[in-house]
Amino acid sequence: MMAERVALVTGGNVGIGHEVVRALAKAGHVVWLASRDADKGKKAAADLAGEGDIRPVRIDVTDEASMVAAVAAIEAAHGKLDLLINNAGATFGGGAAHVADLDALRAAIENNAIGPLRMSQLALPLLRKGETAQIIMVGSGAGSLAWLGNPAPGFEGRIPLGYATSKSVMHSISVQLAQALKADRIAVNVISPGYVNSAVSQYQGTKSTAEGAAPIVRLALDPAPPTGRFISDVEGQELPW
């Protein structure tokens, strides 16, 4: 009998995260649905009743106490974690770089880069006990320096500074985390879900949340995942850092 696989999905109450929770639960994982607002997390879990074993937990990636408590709850229930999906994030503006609002930029980096790193650090003891353990960072093509230097037509001047910068920082952290955890055989990868119709894109995206979740789920279910990759929403393709 195959041992149960345990997953933690931050920002799991809405959008891409909600679809990832649904898919992993249907695939047989025990999924901890993390939400900044506990009541919203409970409602989201209730909405997915019947899809599988889904357990709401409060996590605010800027609140260390909430992350510590969540890890403790997972440890008490399972003693391990197989999969951490750092999906929680937000869009921050800040204006053009030469007149940037530095407070907005700091907030973006705290939420979208430092928070996921700290979540990964705290979860590491449980991931070391997991099977084919993996950390997936939900990144963005907007965080690619190559893309930012030559954006697609129509996107010039439209990418929020805070969002793009914080995702670039997340990508850098992820590459270094992948190197650091090779000895532990814990894979660390970044997924770009594409231009998804969600709060992050201000509902301007061209893909559904289920379509955005698909590459994340595909990698999460890979029995032999790569590590240190920046993977496109298009199957089999990688993106330039």
Which comes out higher in pLDDT, residue 3 or 65? 65
What's residue 197's pLDDT? Answer: 63
What's residue 205's pLDDT? Answer: 62
**C-alpha to C-alpha distance for 54 and 129, rounded to whole angstroms:** 21
Asked whether the predicted pLDDT for residue 1 surpasses 60, the reply is: no
R_g (Cα) of the chain, nearest Å: 17
What's residue 202's pLDDT? Answer: 61
- The DSSP secondary structure of 197-211, one letter per residue, reads SSTTTTT--SB-HHH
Read off the pTM: 0.94
Q: What is the pLDDT of residues 159-202, one digit of tens each?
A: 789 999 999 999 999 999 999 999 999 999 999 998 676 766 56
Portion of the chain with pLDDT greater than 90, in percent:
77
Closest CA to 239 of 146, 155, 163: 146
What's residue 100's pLDDT? Answer: 87
Which comes out higher in pLDDT, residue 219 or 197? 219
Cβ-Cβ contacts under 8 Å for 97 (sequence gap 6 or more): 161
Q: Which two tokens stand for residue 196?
A: 């998804």
Which comes out higher in pLDDT, residue 143 or 234? 143
Domains and CATH numbers, the chain: 6-231 (3.40.50.720)
**C-alpha to C-alpha distance for 82 and 30, rounded to whole angstroms:** 10
What's the pLDDT band for 223 if we cut at 50, 70, 90? very high
Average pLDDT over the chain reads: 92
**C-alpha to C-alpha distance for 20 and 18, rounded to whole angstroms:** 5
